[in-house]
């Protein structure tokens, strides 16, 4: 039972991201302290030289500049060693083409975790899925080192990168404008205003005395333009 807990325990949303030092393809890092002041996405993959992971790394690397514009760093991890990482990334650049993306140079750090210490610390090993390979975990960590979103995928399922970027922008928009985002929200869509805290506020909302559209006292939205959202999030 203790071994099972060791594998499956994981930090929660709102927790401080567990600290670790690691060797990576871009040198040593201290996480999350090296990334304080910016957002980061820490993600795991099952193994080097595997096809689904290869498609994901090509996609992530091709989108790295887009994530950087949103003040977000990418950090990958698997339980393979450093030399395996280097050989795999070289193979990706020299041999692999995916959806028109080729000659892709993976510049973000890929963590060596042959002891599985970091994978265990973040609950990336799910023994009923595989006891020696990390699942496709994704941790969004904010500028204060707090975990804000966690997404897990099984080994067989490649990630949706449009959704990962959408989550990042939505989290930053929520912080910048003190709002929430509804289902399938994209920048430019109406945003959600929190429920009224008093009967008086609810009455004002329903009578149209506030700058929002209320369908009922608990469901109120307002418009924030795509340009305003992105100018705040992308600092343009």
pLDDT digits (tens, 9 = 90+) for 170-229: 999 999 999 999 999 999 999 998 765 555 566 666 666 567 888 887 889 999 999 999
Specify whether the CB–CB gap between 71 and 65 falls below 8 A: no
| 30-45 CB burial, b ≥16 within 10 A, e <16 | ebbeebeeebbbbbbb
Q: Which two tokens stand for residue 29?
A: 């890092």
pLDDT over 80 (residue 83): yes
Of 2.40.40.20, 3.40.30.10, 3.40.50.410, 3.30.70.20, the CATH number of 2-158 is: 3.40.30.10
Specify whether the CB–CB gap between 101 and 58 falls below 8 A: yes
pTM above 0.85, yes or no: yes
Q: Is 214 among the catalytic positions?
A: no
Annotated binding residues, written as ranges, equal 136
Residue whose C-alpha is closest to residue 87's, from 114, 43, 47, 135: 47
Specify whether the CB–CB gap between 63 and 104 falls below 8 A: no
Specify whether the CB–CB gap between 122 and 139 falls below 8 A: yes
Q: What is the pLDDT of residues 89-134, one digit of tens each?
A: 999 999 999 999 999 999 999 999 999 999 999 999 887 787 778 8
CATH of domain 178-233: 3.30.1020.10
Sign, Cα dihedral of 12, 16, 17, 22: negative
Q: Which two tokens stand for residue 104?
A: 């892709």
DSSP characters for 17-61? PPPEEEEEBTEEEEETGGGTTSEEEEEE-S-TT-HHHHHHHHHHH
Residue 218, helix vs strand vs coil: coil
Q: Could you tell me the residue ranges of all domains in the chain?
A: 2-158, 178-233
Give me the catalytic one of 53, 72, 214, 220: 53
Annotated binding residues for substrate, written as ranges, equal 136
Predicted local confidence at residue 233, as pLDDT = 87
Neighbour tally for 20: CB within 10 Å? 17
């Amino acid at each position: 039972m203790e071994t099972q807990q060791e594998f499956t325990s994981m930090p929660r949303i709102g927790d401080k991201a567990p600290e670790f030092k690691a060797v990576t393809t871009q040198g040593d890092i201290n996480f999350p302290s090296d990334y304080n002041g910016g957002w980061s996405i820490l993600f795991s993959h099952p193994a080097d030289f595997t096809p689904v992971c290869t498609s994901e790394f090509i996609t992530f690397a091709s989108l790295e500049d887009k994530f950087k514009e949103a003040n977000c760093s990418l950090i990958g991890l698997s339980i393979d060693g450093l030399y395996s990482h280097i050989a795999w990334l070289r193979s990706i650049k020299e041999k692999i083409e995916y959806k028109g993306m080729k000659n892709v140079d993976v510049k973000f750090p890929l963590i060596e975790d042959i002891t599985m210490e970091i994978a265990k610390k973040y609950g990336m090993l799910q023994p009923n899925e595989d006891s020696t390979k990390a699942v496709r975990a994704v941790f969004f960590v904010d500028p204060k080192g707090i975990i804000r979103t966690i997404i897990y995928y099984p080994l067989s399922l490649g990630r949706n990168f449009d959704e990962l970027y959408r989550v990042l922008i939505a989290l930053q928009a929520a912080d910048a404008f003190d709002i929430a985002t509804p289902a399938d929200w994209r920048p430019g869509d109406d945003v959600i205003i929190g429920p009224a805290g008093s009967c008086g506020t609810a009455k004002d909302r329903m009578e149209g005395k506030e700058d929002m559209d209320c369908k009922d006292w608990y469901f109120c939205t307002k418009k924030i333009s795509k340009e305003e959202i992105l100018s705040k999030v992308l600092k343009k």
